[in-house]
Amino acid sequence: MKIVIQRVSEASVNVDGKIVGEISQGLLLLIGVHQDDDESDADWLVQKILSLRIFSDDAGKMNLSVKDICGDILCVSQFTLLADYKKGHRPSFISAARPEKAVPLFEYFKSELAKSGLKIQSGIFGADMKVSLTNDGPVTIVMESKEKG
């Protein structure tokens, strides 16, 4: 799995003119599922993301996690994160998981995040989504489960 993590002061997802997911301070997660991913990839990423200290403490240092601040999380599926752009000018998405695998793993990932007790919102898998956000910092981090070592 490949995830772009953005620290936000607010974010929302709009589908067909309706807001389907909306958060205040927390994390916007853009999530790409690779064809070789499984629940162990999701588990590792959930633990890393929930413990990632990218929120400022009283001294202004990034010492707090999303759990520490009781922040919200907005999950948005985005297969384009797995683009292979090495040949030609049209990206290939052949390594992205097919929906029959990606949807259950995306749902599993969200359910594991929800065990934290934080507010978890999401877009609609496969929909044409309009994502709005106010990136706080900006702080943006890319995580890949294949790099867990």
pLDDT in tens, 74-97: 999 999 999 999 888 999 999 999
Q: pLDDT > 70: what percent of the chain?
A: 99
Backbone angles phi, psi at 57, to 5 degrees: -90, -170
pLDDT at 136: 96
Q: Which domain holds residue 101?
A: 2-147
Residue 129 has pLDDT above 70, yes or no: yes
Inform me whether the pLDDT recorded for 28 exceeds 80: yes
User: What's the domain count of the chain?
Assistant: 1
**CATH number reported for the structural domain that contains residue 9 in this entry:** 3.50.80.10
Q: What are the residue numbers of the active site?
A: 78-80
Structure tokens belonging to residue 66 = 């999303």
Q: Among candidates 75, 96, 93, 61, which has minimal Cα distance to 30?
A: 75
Q: How confident is residue 147, by pLDDT bands cut at 50, 70 and 90?
A: confident
d(CA 66, CA 55): 7
